[in-house]
Structure 1
């Protein structure tokens, strides 16, 4: 199976279209297509990715929920994805595509990647700071247990992480005769961070250390993620971890006519295809 891997396209911040290429069996998009799941992200995928792939699996990222109320947008997003013939996996659901089992979840994080140097509470406080923290907690809303509108604070993201991780582990424990691919937006290991390890409490909003899953008897064959705007390809025991994020691109022509290359991730490969 030929699998096209993409993430963190941010096409609303800097417009982009994939270059011409051969049709693939499966496209996996690991989140952050554009701000707004139904307003921008799914329509862009339907126009630019769906025609290039026999199957499309899309795991939404944090930016895909900006400007929305998360559970309401997800409900609309599921309908929009079905209409566009795109498989939306957001909370640990799975799909088998031509013998390949795919498990997908946004995942969020457990805010614990810096322990014991930085506590979980410190990581959550850093992410939730209303001035310098993650803008997710200012740009996304949710609903409380009674269904009333509520801010999307770090404790809500942590609760989702626990739910998504539990579902991923449960599905991985079920027998499957072919390869298994886990797709998450948030990173599953500290080696995916810019420095290859946690260097401050702020890193806790970008990755969790899920080594225990990959080192266990049910570790997946591949784990594809986004969120960290740097290309990654490494192994944890038998699991190959891959990220191919575009990131932001503010490249422009200077007044003297020269070109300023300001790609956030120059290593992004627009036509990265993995053979499974």
Structure 2
């Protein structure tokens, strides 16, 4: 199986990136921050040449300007069913293709074990906690994202304990390892982009591949036996073609799995 992967294309800001046509690979993985759930048109254009399976994970930006993050996600899934039935939206659930097993979800962050100072910094400085609404129009809070993170971990562990044969791939928006964003090294905002307790889980279960986004820095390294990758373009840039520069692969960083 040949897969390609993208995240953080931020097409809500006018990015015109398009993937290769679907003769290029067998499966596309989208690890979040492609659009907002208020405007599907950029995704419609992005997928016009791709009819093979797609795994879609919501990032934080998908929920921006929503009045209820759960309702918006449900509307999005209905739209996919009607317009792109080949796209599979994963939020804390799994799917398998040709003997390769995938588990996906936004994952959010635990703020490095629930650090009160990190959560305070995020609450006051990050758009997530102004632009994302939960039920009844209440703004998202760092404390609630730690709850969402715990729910993700619970479902992930259930999946790892299933007796599945074949490759296992985890797809998240938030980063599974501590790899601070260059511009946030030493900052209390760094925990908003990583999920520290994933290291122990990776060590114990050793999935074959973990794909993520969110940091606006591309990545390809191994932690023990797990390959950890990210192919992010970042915001459209006036000084260079992509915010992430030469490290972003417009062809989707093709990988052969199997």
| TM-score (structure 2 length as normaliser) | 0.91
Cα RMSD after superposing both structures: 1.9
* Residue 82 (1) aligns with residue 63 (2): no
Structure number with higher strand proportion: 1
Q: Contact conserved, 1:93 with 1:103, CA < 8 A, in 2? A: yes
Structure 2 equivalent of residue 270 of structure 1:
250
Whether 1:187 aligns to 2:175 is yes
More helix by share: 2
Which residues of 2 match residues 1-276 of structure 1 at below 5 A?
Answer: 1-18=1-18, 20-21=20-21, 22-34=23-35, 36-37=36-37, 39-40=39-40, 43-49=41-47, 51-68=49-66, 69-83=68-82, 84-85=84-85, 86-90=87-91, 92-112=92-112, 120-129=115-124, 133-143=125-135, 148-191=136-179, 193-195=180-182, 199-209=186-196, 210-216=198-204, 218-251=205-238, 260-261=239-240, 263-266=242-245, 267-271=247-251, 272-276=253-257
Q: CA deviation at 1:61?
A: 0.2
Shift of 1:127: 0.5
Q: Gaps (5+ residues) in structure 1?
A: 114-118, 252-259
* CA distance, structure 2, for counterparts of residue 151 and residue 249 of structure 1: 28
Query: C-alpha deviations, 1:127-186, integer Å up to 9, x for none?
Result: 001xxx11010001001xxxx331111111111111011111110111111101100000
Given that 2:213 and 2:231 are in contact with CA atoms closer than 8 Å, whether structure 1 keeps it comes out as yes
Measure, in 2, the Cα distance between the counterparts of 1:95 and 1:31: 17
**Residue in 2 that maps onto 1:256:** none
C-alpha displacement of 1:262: 6.2
SS in 1 for 2:152: helix
Offset, 1:3: 0.3
> Runs (4+) of structure 1 moved beyond 6 Å?
none
After TM superposition, give the deviation of residue 38 of structure 1 in Å: 5.2
Between the aligned partners of 1:197 and 1:176, the Cα distance in structure 2 is 39
Find the aligned partners of 1:100 and 1:150 in 2 and give their Cα distance. 39
